[in-house]
Every structure is written in structure tokens, then in C-alpha cells.
Amino acid sequence: MHTALITGASRGIGAAIAAALAPTHTLVLAGRPSPALQQTAERLGATTLPLDVTDTDAIPSTTAAIGELDVLVHNAGVFLPGPVAESTVEDWRTTFDVNVVGAVAVTLALLPALRRAGGQVVFVNSGTGRKASATMASYSASKFALRAFADSLRESEPDLRVTTVYPGRVDTDMQRALVSFEGGEYDASKFLKPETVAAAVAQAVATPPDGHLHEVVLRPRG
């Protein structure tokens, strides 16, 4: 069975992706140790990998035992809402450290394993990675940067498949925080379900080997 490593898999979209890939892949759920991560792993029969994407010095040794990797899913991310004028340099640094530098560090550490398997890297991006949002300045910028990294990886590693998924607004804890920040009333029916995004990721991974799906743009209906 192929192996998939997923970051940010303790809940929300990441946990849904893990569930979607569980029937076809041996799962490694990477993240900071937490009860939620452990519960997801136990439910799916997965292995956990203690991994802090901001501790870039530790990532190579943490992932060193992975000899081959068929699928790497980048889902870990942080969101600090606010327009440019209300943001701080520390907001930008924190957002980029997690959303961009962390993804780069994990990819570089696992690149030999991905090459051996002729594997696939999936980036869970955002609608704000295609169209910037006034209320999510640092987050939007980080997602544009992540998009550029994925494009560069695809061009420089032709033996790998690199797919970016751009979901619209999804019913997650992050979405609840955004709606609260905006002063709105939360209505889950207006947003994509995490399982819907996970199904799109699973379909991308299941693309026959002669195909290379570069991008998936997914939006709520209506």
C-alpha cells in the first residue's frame, strides 16, 4: 500500500483528507502532539509523527526514517485576520513561518523520499491564494507565496506530480474565527464541508499515472 504523510491532520480539512486517503494509503499524520491528533490516528489506524513545521532545524532528523513517500499533503497553516494597516510585522513573520517556510522545509527534507517513489505533493491552498482579501492580508500573501513555491517545485522536479487545491470558504474552526472577526452570523450551510475538499484531494491523488493535475479550484455552490 502506498504511503501518505499529511500535515495539520488533527481536525478539520486535514483529518478529512486523512479519512479519504485511509482506504488506499498507509497514513503518517504529522503535527504537534495533541489529543486530537492522537484520536484521529487511532480512529484511522495511522502513525503519528511529532513535527513542528516552525522548527526547521529539527525537521530533517524527524523525517529521516522515511525512505520512500508516495504522497505528501501540506495542510498545516495558521490564520491571523486583519487588513494591512492593522497587521504587525510579527503577524507576517508568524504566518509565513508556518504557511510557507514550514512547507518548504518539510518538502526539502522529504524530497529524496518523494523522488524514490515518483511521488506527489499536494498543497491545500485557499481562494485567497488566487485573489487577495482585504481582511486577510498576511494570510493571502502567504498563500500566494505557497502557490509560487508549488509552481516552482513542479517545474524543477518533473518526475513528481505537484497539485495545488484552492478551496473556497470551508466549515472549520478557522472559518468560525473569520466570521466572528467580520462580525457576521455563522451559517455552516454557506460553506464547503471539509469532506468535500478531502474528496477533491483524494481524486487528485487517484489521477492515473499518465496524468498530472496541476490545480483544482473548488467553491461552494450558490
CB-based contacts of 8: which residues, under 8 Å, 6+ apart? 14, 31, 74, 75, 76, 77
- The C-alpha atoms of residue 110 and residue 94 are separated, in whole angstroms, by 23
- The C-alpha atoms of residue 211 and residue 222 are separated, in whole angstroms, by 30
- The C-alpha atoms of residue 110 and residue 5 are separated, in whole angstroms, by 10
Catalytic positions, written as ranges = 139
Long-range contacts of 67-70 (CB under 8 A, 24+ apart): 67/113, 67/116, 68/3, 68/113, 68/116, 68/117, 68/119, 69/3, 69/4, 69/5, 69/110, 69/113, 69/114, 69/116, 69/117, 69/119, 70/2, 70/3, 70/4, 70/25, 70/117, 70/119, 70/120
Q: Do residues 41 and 28 make contact, with C-beta atoms less than 8 angstroms apart? A: no
Q: Do residues 205 and 122 make contact, with C-beta atoms less than 8 angstroms apart? A: yes
